[in-house]
Amino acid sequence: MPPTIAVVSCGAMGAAVGRRLHDNGARVITELAGRSAASRARAAAAGMQDAPAEALAAADFFLSILPPGEALALAHRMAGPLTAATRKAIFVDCNAISPATAEAVAAAIAPSGARFVDGSIIGAPPVAGRGGPVFYLSGADAPAAMGLASFGLETRLLEGAVGAASGLKMCYGGITKGVTALASAMILAADRCGAAPALRAEMARSLPFMLSWFETQVPGMFPKAYRWVAEMQEVSEFLADDPASAAIYEAVAALYARLAEDVAGTGTETAALGAFFKN
């Protein structure tokens, strides 16, 4: 019998992961109550079946793939169904959360008796015919989740307790999303002072590799900015022992919040950023 894997929720990453699992022979279930029409369409296209919380809790694996600000609330909500389940899913938190938040999620799941794995996803949503993303797994029960590799996921086991995988994600995401924020801030500054064409020309001359990367990363950020706010706040929490660095990521979170508002509103700043790469 193929394993049953619960994936919550059906955002771009969750649905793509569900599709890969389904295409590799797993039965994939999710929760569609209260979800948007777009989420329902993504689930249907991915071969994911709607199921109640009781069925999700009794799956072989439960993959939590959410905006980071929702990770702990989902764990608290699933604790009851997991406690009641005779056969409990292995709960794998795959979200971009700090080690401290991962420990809080683990603590919420612990009374249920379900096994918990700290996970992180590095890479874009999976696409047919292309490898990745990589699922890093840590914690005492992480080896039990390595079997997900048999159903199309690229898994890597990290030594260390709960928090190791989340810490890796904080460092990696802090670099990639932090640099994207810095580039966005300075491109907007160049636009305000009339130096945008000159800046682009100079980057093409002296930093072509960075310009090429930003051409993808900056416009690609626009629809994701709202999700990156909580992730950057998690990075700031992760850096609490280094106040100066923590303050950087609070500012990055504020920038992404502003850009998210721009996407939903006038689009003035995102238009300026997009125009920079068309000069």
Q: Which CATH architecture has domain 4-161?
A: 3-Layer(aba) Sandwich (3.40)
Q: What percent of the chain has pLDDT over 90?
A: 94
CA 152 to CA 138: how far, in whole Å? 19
Domains 4-161 and 166-276 share a fold: no
Please, are residues 70 and 44 in contact by the beta-carbon 8 Å criterion? no
Burial class (CB in 10 A: 0-12, 13-18, 19+), 194: exposed
Point out the residues of the chain with pLDDT beneath 70.
279
Torsion of CA 4, 115, 14, 273, to 10 degrees: -170
Q: How far is CA 55 from the centre of its chain?
A: 24
Say what the pLDDT of residue 34 is: 85
* Chain centre distance of CA 89: 21
**The token pair that represents 133 in the structure block:** 């993303």
Return d(Cα 123, Cα 42) in angstroms, integer: 19
Asked if omega into 81 is within 30° of 0 (cis), the reply is: no
pLDDT at site 137? 98
Pick one of 3.40.50, 1.10.1040, 2.30.29, 2.30.30 as the CATH number of 166-276.
1.10.1040
Phi, psi of 7 (to 5 degrees): -125, 115
Question: What pLDDT, in 10s, does the model give residues 232-246?
Answer: 999 999 999 999 999
- pLDDT tens, residue by residue, 56-115: 999 999 999 999 999 999 999 999 999 999 999 999 999 999 999 999 999 999 999 999
Domain residue extents for the chain = 4-161, 166-276
pLDDT recorded at residue 9: 86
pLDDT for the residue 279? 66
